[in-house]
Chain A
Amino acid sequence: MIEIKNLAKRFGATVILDDVNLTVREGDTLALLGPSGTGKSVLLKHIIGLLRPDSGEVIVDDQHVELLSRKDLSTLRRSIGYVFQNGALFDSMDVFENIRLGLTDQKEFRNLEYAKERIAECLRLVNLPEDTQRKMPAELSGGMRKRVGIARAIAGRPKYVLYDEPTSGLDPVNSDIIDALIMRLDTELNVTGVMVTHDVRGAFRTADRIALLTGGKIIAEGTPEEFRASDNPEVRAFLERDFELASS
């Protein structure tokens, strides 16, 4: 379980997160909605310890992330897959080596036969052909990069997967493919997911729970049905533009 309690973060004089409270139950996929620049990705980076809070607590599996030693944080990170907004693939390595780095268990990483099998399996899971393995990131389309990023994130069989804008910059067809993939990972691998997005339609399709972050605070949280029925004016205003699409 992921618990965030009274989390605050500022960069210089700008307050990004202000007393954020959020809980993600095991097995759930939570979509974190919000306008651009409200700190959704910043919140995600706190969960995996890439950023440290100014105050508050981030607890993953009963471990306080902000208090962990370098070694313990490294161990915790092996149970969390992180899908970056633009893939963040290592551009000096081919797809095979990129996904291989996702094998966070060192014995598995060094066992080349296992690595080959697991990488082929991950590529199948994200619907990419096997010959993608030897391509360099620069040779891939935006959608393929995102899928390789997901393959890398799940290669080490993580318990949690954090998605940072998994469908941003993609056309509707590729967005649907990624959404379907997230749902498939949820059901087949039973991972707990947190997805940062401003794609309302995708959030309603893939998430078990939805939260809205705006002004540095979580102002609403609930199931997609509760969210749709919310009479919170800020939720209504945010959903207004996409609501019909989301309901379709």
Chain B
Amino acid sequence: MSSIATQLQHRTGRAVLDALAHVGRFAGLVMEMIRGLPEWRIWLPRTMQEAYSIGVGSLFIVILISSFAGAVTALQAGYQFTGNIPIYVVGSLVTESIVLELGPVLCGLILAGRIGARYAAELGTMRVTEQIDALESLGRAPSSHLLIPRVLGCLLMIPILVIFANVMGVLAGWAAAKSALPISDQDFIYGARVFWRPFDAYYSIIKGFFFAGAIGLISCYMGYTTQQGAAGVGRSTTGAVVTASVIILLLDTLLAKLLLH
């Protein structure tokens, strides 16, 4: 019995130490990036390349996912709202659901998979093939060459992709509602405007920024601290996607509590 208790204590202690080590390394990485900010001649052109790559490369999948989300929301709303509920409420529901929740969250989760996995795998491979050591050996800071451009690229493009997701989601929801429900354009627009507040759009973009930070920082951290060969790269990639996804959902809850109440 005492042996089980000792083992439990040992494992708990190890988990706490591991978590603290991660926090310390993560803080160190963020500090490294802050110190690299004055080297703007290096990170600025690379940031533009990353932003272009994120934006162009992710636009199709973001539009696809948000369009399906908008269409399904409209169709399910039509199925549920029977009896005395006015049909224009479908417009309210689609717009608010997409802008407040589905647009930013689905966009964040998709990009955590697409961008997060790519960054973690790229940086992890660079770590295990000594390319990051090579950069350091040349007197160059990995933060300004590799990390800052990726994180800023995310911060620049992901909120823009969230705007695209919102617009496409609402338009697809509108089209789906019109095709399957007895709702006119005027009803949908009225419904969309009746509960609309300008802050809803800001809230959506604020979420996009937070999710972008989570995706950029977590995937860069996971990739940059990769150890032990190809298996390590695999672990970092999976870890980056899972951790970024969980953090996105946590941030989603936290921001709803802080900004909507």
Cα distance A166–B81 when bound, in Å? 73
* A96 partner residues in chain B, CB cutoff 8 A: none
Which residue on B lies nearest to A51, using beta carbons? B133
Cα distance A78–B139 when bound, in Å? 6
CB of A82 within 8 A of CB of B134, answer yes
Q: Which of A66-108 contact B (CB under 8 A)?
A: 70, 74-78, 80, 82, 84-86, 88-91, 101-102, 104
* A86 partner residues in chain B, CB cutoff 8 A: 129-130
For residue B5, CB closer than 8 A to chain A, the reply is no
Q: Which of B133, B134, B137 has the most CB of A within 10 A?
A: B137
Q: Which of B35, B134, B136, B140 has the most CB of A within 10 A?
A: B134
Which secondary structure dominates chain A's binding surface? Answer: loop
Total A-B contacts with CB atoms under 8 angstroms apart: 53
Which residue on A lies nearest to B133, using beta carbons? A50
CB of A77 within 8 A of CB of B137, answer yes
Which residue on A lies nearest to B134, using beta carbons? A88
Which residue on B lies nearest to A80, using beta carbons? B137
Cα distance A84–B35 when bound, in Å? 27
For residue A116, CB closer than 8 A to chain B, the reply is no
Interface bracket on A: 20 to 34
CB of B129 within 8 A of CB of A77, answer no
Which residue on A lies nearest to B145, using beta carbons? A101
CB of A50 within 8 A of CB of B139, answer no
Q: How far is the CB of A112 from chain B (nearest CB, A)?
A: 14
CB of A102 within 8 A of CB of B133, answer no
Cα distance A74–B144 when bound, in Å? 13
For residue B76, CB closer than 8 A to chain A, the reply is no
* B129 partner residues in chain A, CB cutoff 8 A: 86, 88, 91
CB of A85 within 8 A of CB of B141, answer no
Q: How far is the CB of B28 from chain A (nearest CB, A)?
A: 12
For residue B138, CB closer than 8 A to chain A, the reply is yes
User: Which residue in A75, A85, A91 is a CB contact (below 8 Å) of B139?
Assistant: A75
CB of B138 within 8 A of CB of A88, answer no
Q: Which of B126, B131, B135, B139 has the most CB of A within 10 A?
A: B139
Which residue on A lies nearest to B140, using beta carbons? A101
Which residue on A lies nearest to B35, using beta carbons? A70
Q: How far is the CB of B233 from chain A (nearest CB, A)?
A: 14
Cα distance A80–B134 when bound, in Å? 12
* B130 partner residues in chain A, CB cutoff 8 A: 84-86, 88
CB of B131 within 8 A of CB of A91, answer yes
Q: Please, what's the 1-or-0 string for B158-188, where 1 marks a CB less than 8 Å from any CB in chain A? A: 0000000000000000000000000000000
Extra pairs beyond A90-B135, A101-B135, A101-B138 (6, CB < 8 Å): A76-B139, A80-B137, A84-B130, A86-B129, A88-B133, A89-B134
Give me 29 A-to-B residue pairs in the complex whose CB atoms sit less than 8 angstroms apart, sorted by A's number. Answer: A45-B133, A48-B137, A50-B133, A50-B137, A70-B35, A74-B139, A74-B140, A74-B141, A75-B139, A76-B139, A77-B136, A77-B137, A77-B138, A77-B139, A80-B137, A82-B134, A82-B137, A86-B129, A86-B130, A88-B134, A90-B126, A90-B131, A90-B134, A90-B135, A91-B129, A91-B131, A101-B138, A104-B138, A104-B140
